[in-house]
Amino acid sequence: MDRITIAFRPVGAAAEGDLVVFVRDDLVPVGGGQPAALAELIRRAAAAERFKGKAKAVMTVPAPAGLDGIASLHVVGLGAKDGAGPDWRLIGGAIAGRVSGREATVLADLGEGADALAAVAEMVLGARLRSYRWDRFKSKKPDADEAASPTRLTFAVADAAGAERADAAGLALAEGINLARDLVHEPPNVLFPEEFARRAQALDAVGVEVEVLGEEDLRTIGMRALVAVGDGSAHDSCVALMQWKGGAPDEPPICFVGKGVCFDSGGISIKPSGGMEDMKGDMAGAATVVGLMHALAARKAKVNVIGAIGLTENMPDGKAQRPGDIITTLSGQTVEMVNSDAEGRLVLGDVLWYVQDRYKPKMIVDLATLTGAILVALAQEYAGLFSNSDELADRLIAAGRKSGELVWRMPLAPAYDKLIDSKFADMKNTGGRHGGSITAAQFLQRYVRDGLPWAHLDIAGTGMNAPQTDINKTWSAGWGVRLLEQLVRDNYEEA
- x-or-dash string of contact with Zn ion, 242-271, rule CB under 5 A: -------------------x--x-------
**Beta 209-213 vs 407-409: how paired, if at all?**
unpaired
Catalytic residue among 56, 102, 271, 300: 271
CB 142, min distance to Zn ion, A: 30
Return d(Cα 99, Cα 152) in angstroms, integer: 9
* 406: number of Cβ within 10 Å: 16
Return d(Cα 53, Cα 50) in angstroms, integer: 9
Return d(Cα 132, Cα 181) in angstroms, integer: 9
Among 18, 231, 341, 470, binds Mn ion (CB under 5 A): 341
Among 109, 264, 405, 458, binds Mn ion (CB under 5 A): 264
Backbone angles phi, psi at 177, to 5 degrees: -65, -45
Is 25 annotated in some ligand binding site?
no
Site for ligand BES in 83-142 (CB under 6 A): none
Site for ligand BES in 453-482 (CB under 6 A): 460
The reply to whether 442 sits near ligand BES by the rule CB under 6 A is no
The reply to whether 369 sits near ligand BES by the rule CB under 6 A is yes
CB 316, min distance to Mn ion, A: 12
Looking at 25-33, 189-197, 337-345, 380-388, which segment touches Zn ion (CB under 5 A)? 337-345
- x-or-dash string of contact with ligand BES, 280-309, rule CB under 6 A: --x---------------------------
Catalytic residue among 89, 130, 181, 345: 345
Is 350 annotated in some ligand binding site?
no
209-213, strands of its sheet edge to edge: 209-213, 238-245, 304-314, 254-264, 363-368, 454-458, 383-387, 407-409
Return d(Cα 482, Cα 120) in angstroms, integer: 16
Q: Name every residue whose Cβ is closer than 8 Å to that of residue 129 and which is 6 or more positions away in sequence.
A: 89, 93, 174, 177, 178, 471, 472, 477, 478
* Cα dihedral 479, 485, 488, 493 in deg (nearest 10): 170
Element (H, E) at 157: strand 151-157
Please confirm, yes or no, whether 362 is among the known catalytic residues. Answer: no
The reply to whether 66 sits near ligand BES by the rule CB under 6 A is no
The reply to whether 430 sits near ligand BES by the rule CB under 6 A is yes
Please confirm, yes or no, whether 271 is among the known catalytic residues. Answer: yes
The reply to whether 420 sits near ligand BES by the rule CB under 6 A is no
The reply to whether 343 sits near ligand BES by the rule CB under 6 A is yes
Is 381 annotated in some ligand binding site?
no
Return d(Cα 173, Cα 485) in angstroms, integer: 8
Q: Which is nearer to ligand BES, 215 or 343 (CB)?
A: 343
Is 313 annotated in some ligand binding site?
no
Element (H, E) at 122: helix 114-131
Three-state DSSP class for 58? strand
CB 275, min distance to ligand BES, A: 9
Among 371, 387, 442, 476, binds ligand BES (CB under 6 A): 371
SS3 sequence of 303-354: CEEEEEEEEEEECCCCCCCCCCCEEECCCCCEEECCCCCCCHHHHHHHHHHH
Q: Which residues are catalytic?
A: 271, 345
Binding site for Zn ion (CB under 5 A): 261, 264, 282, 344
Binding site for Mn ion (CB under 5 A): 264, 341, 343
Known binding residues for Mn(2+): 259, 264, 282, 341, 343
Binding site for ligand BES (CB under 6 A): 264, 282, 339, 341-344, 369, 371-373, 430, 436, 460
